[in-house]
Structure 1
Amino acid sequence: MSAPTDPPAGETVSRSLDAESRLPVLAEGIDSGVAHLLPEGLCRTFRVQPYALLHREPDTLGDPEQHAQGASDTQPVVLVATGEPDDPIALQVVRDRLRRPVWLVPHALPELMAAIERVHPARARTPETAEARLERAQLGDMLLASGLLDQQRLDDALAVQTGTGDPLSEVLVAEGFVEESVVVAALSELHQIQRVSLIDSPLDHETADRLPEPLAREHAALPVAVADSTVLLAVARPLVGEPLAEIEAHVGAPLRQLIAERREVDHLMQRAHGPHHVEVAESFLRETEPELAARPLLTAPQRLAALVLIALVVLAGWQWPADLARWTAATVSLVYLACCAQQLVLAHRGLAGRTELCPDAHLPGLPDSQLPRYTVLVPLHGDDAGHVATLLESLARLDYPRTRLEVRLLCVDDDFETRRALDDADLPPYAFVSVVPRAGARTRAQLCTVGLMQARGTHCVVYNVDDLPDDDQLRVAARCFADAPAHVIALQAKLNVALDDGRAGLVRGWASNELAGRFELLVAADTARDGLAELAGSSLHIATAPLRVAGAWDPHHDAPALDLALRLYRQGYRSRVLDSTTVSTGHATLGSWFRWLCRQTTGALETVLVHARHPRRLRRDVGTRGLAALGLWLAPHAARLANPLLWCVVSLASAHRLGLPVTAPPMPWTLVAVSLLLVGNLTATWIALLGNLRRREFGLTRAALLTPLWWALSSLAAWCGVVRLVLRREEP
Structure 2
Amino acid sequence: MHLLPSRPKLAVGTARTSAPPLGKLLIEQKCITPEQLDSALAFQRKSGGRLGEILVALQLVHPRELYRILADQIGIDRVNSMKPMNVHHQFPESLARQYGAVVIEECDTHLSVAVTQPLSSEERTAVSSYFSKPIREVLATPYEMERFWDQVFRSELLEESIERLHVEQPRDSAMSVLTRSQLALMIAIFVGVVVCAVMDFLRTVTVINILCQLVYFSLATFKARVLYRGMSVEAHSISDDEVKELDENELPIYTILVPLYREANVLPELIRHIENMDYPKHKLDVRLLFEEDDVETISQAERLQIPYYFTFVKVPVSQPRTKPKACNYGLIRARGEYVVIYDAEDRPEPDQLKKVLVAFRKLGKKTACVQAKLNYFNGNQNLLTRWFTQEYSNWFGILLPGVMSMKLPIPLGGTSNHFRMSVLKQINAWDPYNVTEDADLGVRLYKSGHTTGIVDSTTWEEANSRLYNWVKQRTRWIKGYMQTWLVHMRNPWRLYRQLGGRGFWGFQAIVLGTPLLPLMNPPFWVMMFLWFFQHQKWIPEIFPGPIYYMAACLLVMGNFFFVYSGVVGTYQFSERYMHVPGVLSFRLVRSAIISPLYWALMSIAAYRAVWQLVVNPFYWEKTRHGLTRSTRQSGQSVGITT
Normalising by the residue count of structure 2, what TM-score does the alignment of the two structures yield?
Answer: 0.86
The match for 2:354 is: 475
Q: Answer yes or no: is 1:682 the counterpart of 2:560.
A: yes
Paired residues of 1:208 and 1:222 also in contact (CA < 8 A): yes
The match for 2:593 is: 705
Instruction: Call closer, same or farther: CA 1:653–1:275 in 2, change over 3 Å.
Output: same
SS, match of residue 385 in structure 1:
coil
Match of 1:542 among 406, 416, 419: 419
Cα distance in 1 for partners of 2:40, 2:18 equals 14
Instruction: Call closer, same or farther: CA 1:327–1:426 in 2, change over 3 Å.
Output: same
Match of 2:434 among 531, 544, 557: 557
Cα distance in 2 for partners of 1:190, 1:632 equals 63
Instruction: Call closer, same or farther: CA 1:297–1:692 in 2, change over 3 Å.
Output: same
Gapped regions of structure 2 (runs ≥ 5) = 11-16, 579-584, 620-642
Gapped regions of structure 1 (runs ≥ 5) = 1-126
SS, match of residue 428 in structure 2:
coil
The match for 1:582 is: 459
The match for 1:234 is: 114
Q: Which amino acid aligns with 1:351?
A: M
Cα distance in 1 for partners of 2:21, 2:141 equals 20
Cα distance in 2 for partners of 1:478, 1:457 equals 13
SS, match of residue 234 in structure 2:
coil
Q: Answer yes or no: is 1:277 the counterpart of 2:157.
A: yes
Shift, 1:504, TM fit: 3.2
* Alignment length (residue pairs): 595
Match of 2:51 among 137, 144, 168: 168
Q: Answer yes or no: is 1:641 the counterpart of 2:519.
A: yes
Q: Which amino acid aligns with 2:158?
A: V
Q: Which moves more between the two structures, 244-253 or 389-398?
A: 244-253
Q: Which amino acid aligns with 1:434?
A: V
Paired residues of 1:384 and 1:418 also in contact (CA < 8 A): yes
Query: Which structure has the larger Rg over C-alpha atoms?
Result: 1
Cα distance in 1 for partners of 2:556, 2:376 equals 28
Cα distance in 2 for partners of 1:388, 1:248 equals 44
The match for 2:393 is: 516
Q: Which amino acid aligns with 2:340?
A: V
Paired residues of 1:236 and 1:260 also in contact (CA < 8 A): yes
Shift, 1:607, TM fit: 1.2
Identity %: 28
Shift, 1:679, TM fit: 3.4
Cα distance in 2 for partners of 1:319, 1:325 equals 12
Cα distance in 1 for partners of 2:237, 2:127 equals 40
Q: Answer yes or no: is 1:464 the counterpart of 2:343.
A: yes
The match for 1:395 is: 274
Shift, 1:646, TM fit: 1.4
Shift, 1:518, TM fit: 0.7
Paired residues of 2:277 and 2:350 also in contact (CA < 8 A): yes
What do residues 513-572 of structure 1 show as CA deviations (whole Å, max 9, x unaligned)? 111111111112212443112111111111222222322222221211111111221111
Match of 1:507 among 384, 389, 411: 384
SS, match of residue 460 in structure 1:
strand
Cα distance in 2 for partners of 1:596, 1:430 equals 31
Q: Answer yes or no: is 1:628 the counterpart of 2:505.
A: yes
Q: Answer yes or no: is 1:572 the counterpart of 2:462.
A: no
Cα distance in 1 for partners of 2:240, 2:121 equals 40
Shift, 1:719, TM fit: 2.3
What do residues 203-241 of structure 1 show as CA deviations (whole Å, max 9, x unaligned)? 73732437714314xx4x323234455432212234446
The match for 2:68 is: 185
SS, match of residue 257 in structure 1:
strand
The match for 1:328 is: 208
SS, match of residue 429 in structure 2:
coil
Shift, 1:635, TM fit: 2.5
Q: Which moves more between the two structures, 199-208 or 604-613?
A: 199-208
Instruction: Call closer, same or farther: CA 1:385–1:429 in 2, change over 3 Å.
Output: same
Q: Which moves more between the two structures, 357-366 or 682-691?
A: 357-366
SS, match of residue 215 in structure 1:
helix
Q: How does 1:84-123 map to 2 (within 5 A)?
A: none
Shift, 1:178, TM fit: 1.5
Higher relative contact order (CA 8 A, sep 6+): 2
Q: Which moves more between the two structures, 228-237 or 245-254?
A: 245-254
Instruction: Call closer, same or farther: CA 1:593–1:301 in 2, change over 3 Å.
Output: same
Q: How does 1:76-475 map to 2 (within 5 A)?
A: 138-202=21-85, 204=87, 206-209=89-92, 212-216=95-99, 219=100, 221-227=101-107, 229-240=109-120, 254-356=134-236, 358=238, 361=241, 364-381=244-261, 383-475=262-354
Shift, 1:157, TM fit: 0.9
Cα distance in 2 for partners of 1:135, 1:387 equals 49
Cα distance in 2 for partners of 1:622, 1:247 equals 45
Cα distance in 2 for partners of 1:462, 1:362 equals 24
What do residues 663-714 of structure 1 show as CA deviations (whole Å, max 9, x unaligned)? 5544756665444233343233122122123322534111111111112221
Cα distance in 1 for partners of 2:492, 2:53 equals 51
Shift, 1:369, TM fit: 2.1
Instruction: Call closer, same or farther: CA 1:681–1:186 in 2, change over 3 Å.
Output: same
Instruction: Call closer, same or farther: CA 1:432–1:198 in 2, change over 3 Å.
Output: farther
Shift, 1:449, TM fit: 0.9
Q: Which amino acid aligns with 2:210?
A: A
Q: Answer yes or no: is 1:608 the counterpart of 2:491.
A: no
Match of 1:722 among 610, 619, 622: 610
Q: Which amino acid aligns with 1:166?
A: G
Normalising by the residue count of structure 1, what TM-score does the alignment of the two structures yield?
Answer: 0.76
Instruction: Call closer, same or farther: CA 1:252–1:485 in 2, change over 3 Å.
Output: farther
Instruction: Call closer, same or farther: CA 1:616–1:345 in 2, change over 3 Å.
Output: closer
The match for 2:529 is: 651
Cα distance in 1 for partners of 2:168, 2:84 equals 36
Instruction: Call closer, same or farther: CA 1:164–1:535 in 2, change over 3 Å.
Output: same
Instruction: Call closer, same or farther: CA 1:249–1:363 in 2, change over 3 Å.
Output: farther
Q: Which amino acid aligns with 2:357?
A: A
Paired residues of 2:231 and 2:398 also in contact (CA < 8 A): yes
Q: Which amino acid aligns with 1:710?
A: Y
Cα distance in 1 for partners of 2:62, 2:409 equals 47
What do residues 390-446 of structure 1 show as CA deviations (whole Å, max 9, x unaligned)? 221121111111111111111222222222222222121111111122222121111
Q: Answer yes or no: is 1:490 the counterpart of 2:373.
A: no
SS, match of residue 638 in structure 1:
helix
Instruction: Call closer, same or farther: CA 1:249–1:370 in 2, change over 3 Å.
Output: farther
> For the aligned residues, what is the CA RMSD?
2.8
Cα distance in 2 for partners of 1:654, 1:570 equals 47
What do residues 105-158 of structure 1 show as CA deviations (whole Å, max 9, x unaligned)? xxxxxxxxxxxxxxxxxxxxxx998979x9997111222233322222212211
Q: Which amino acid aligns with 1:678?
A: V
Cα distance in 2 for partners of 1:261, 1:129 equals 17
The match for 1:22 is: none
Paired residues of 1:569 and 1:622 also in contact (CA < 8 A): yes
Cα distance in 1 for partners of 2:115, 2:594 equals 60
Paired residues of 1:684 and 1:708 also in contact (CA < 8 A): no
Shift, 1:506, TM fit: 0.8
Cα distance in 2 for partners of 1:672, 1:393 equals 53
SS, match of residue 354 in structure 1:
coil
Cα distance in 2 for partners of 1:728, 1:130 equals 53
Shift, 1:510, TM fit: 0.6
Instruction: Call closer, same or farther: CA 1:528–1:227 in 2, change over 3 Å.
Output: farther
Cα distance in 2 for partners of 1:136, 1:624 equals 66
